[in-house]
Structure 1
Amino acid sequence: MDEALTWYERAGGTEALRWAAERLAASDRLDEALTWVERAVDAGDIKALEWAAERLAEADRLDEALTWVERAADAGDAGALRWAAHWLAGAGQLDEAEELRRYGWEPDRSIAHVWDPPMSALVKPGH
């Protein structure tokens, strides 16, 4: 495996980095795979964020998976919120999953909640 990693590194490019990460993850070396994914992300592979999040969710490392999927959302991955809600529901956090589906994330990446606007926002000036 380590010899193959040398070849992936020499090949360069995000595809080779992701292939290396996939091989490492398949060999139960997920933490090492994540370092390769990070390199792919640094090279512009946004989908690598979602890949890492999915592997972490499969390994029951939900908090870490959510961190990676939030990074994917920040990078413009439109499916990131859907994945996060799916994993929350799968972990039995049904209320959080539903709120995320309905209201999305706050700018700080906490789950948004329903809110009522203040009356001042509803009343037009001069009326």
Structure 2
Amino acid sequence: MGSDGGVSPELKELLAAVRKWKSEDRPRPNDSQPRKTAERLLIQGRLDEALDWFQRAALEGDPTALRRAAAAVMARSADEAVHWYQRAFEASDVSAAWRAGRIRRNQGRDLEAIEWYQRGAKAGDRTALQRVAYLMRDRGRLDEAVEWSKKACTTGDKGAFFLTVQLLSLQGREEEASKLRQFGWELDGSIAEPWTSLAGHA
């Protein structure tokens, strides 16, 4: 009964394909670890199937599954990756916004990049705040860059502090840049004066 004798070459080829398919390590529908299943499918080069499993992982509470799906699909389509990052952002993964913005910036679509960075910033992502500042700097909009950099500083972002110093220098505001470098910020967001800084250590 196990012999293929007497069947056509076409049927033999079909039977061989079925046997190969059955022998592969295919995930089962009741797999209890959808993220691992998705990663395994990626290794096997089965991207579309992997995306389905990443989506299932997200539905089961994996907070970074959709972001991972976006990264996985990037090699195929940047626009598709942005779509997945958007889904991730809408599912409360705030860091997905600056990742989508980075793609748009690399595509030369700066206005869309700014929109994405601002969405992330409004959602509380400090990385997005600083990226808006850099993008504004690169577009020559230094006043706006300073304002966004200051906002990033309020989150405790040390990189944004040094960026603000740099931006002030670029504007020719060397005295302010020097004061900020030496004495930091006041609680109201203004640059501290020397006596204020010293008084704070008395």
Same fold (TM over 0.5): yes
Match of 1:114 in 2: 194
The 5 Å alignment of 1:94-109 reads 94-109=174-189
Equivalent in 137, 140, 159 of residue 57 of structure 1: 137
Deviations 1:80-124 (A, max 9, x none): 22110012113322222111111222222222223379xxx8xxx
**8 Å CA contact retained: 2:98, 2:120:** yes
TM-score under structure 1 length normalisation? 0.73
1:44 deviates by 4.3
**8 Å CA contact retained: 2:98, 2:127:** no
Match of 2:160 in 1: 80
Identity percentage of aligned residues: 39
**8 Å CA contact retained: 2:86, 2:97:** yes
Structure 2 residue 170 is matched with structure 1 residue 90: yes
Equivalent in 113, 116, 121 of residue 41 of structure 1: 121
- Separation of aligned partners in 2, 1:55 and 1:83: 12
RMSD between superposed Cα atoms in Å: 2.7
Provide structure 2 residue ranges, at least 5 long, that are not aligned to the other structure: 1-77
Provide structure 1 residue ranges, at least 5 long, that are not aligned to the other structure: 122-127
Deviations 1:66-87 (A, max 9, x none): 1111111111212322110012
**8 Å CA contact retained: 2:185, 2:191:** yes
Residue 158 of structure 2: SS of its match in structure 1?
coil
Higher relative contact order (CA 8 A, sep 6+): 1
**8 Å CA contact retained: 2:168, 2:174:** yes
- Separation of aligned partners in 1, 2:133 and 2:154: 14
**Residues 110, 43 of structure 1: alpha-carbon distance in 2 compared, 3 angstrom cutoff:** closer
Structure 2 residue 18 is matched with structure 1 residue 18: no
Residue 5 of structure 1: SS of its match in structure 2?
helix
Deviations 1:7-59 (A, max 9, x none): 33124434432221012223443332222123323444312211221111121
Please identify, of 41-50 and 83-92, the stretch whose mean Cα deviation from structure 2 is larger.
41-50
- Separation of aligned partners in 2, 1:11 and 1:80: 26
- Separation of aligned partners in 2, 1:113 and 1:15: 35
TM-score under structure 2 length normalisation? 0.49
| Aligned partner letter, 2:189 | R
The count of residues paired between Structure 1 and Structure 2 equals: 118
Q: In terms of Rg, which structure is larger?
A: 2
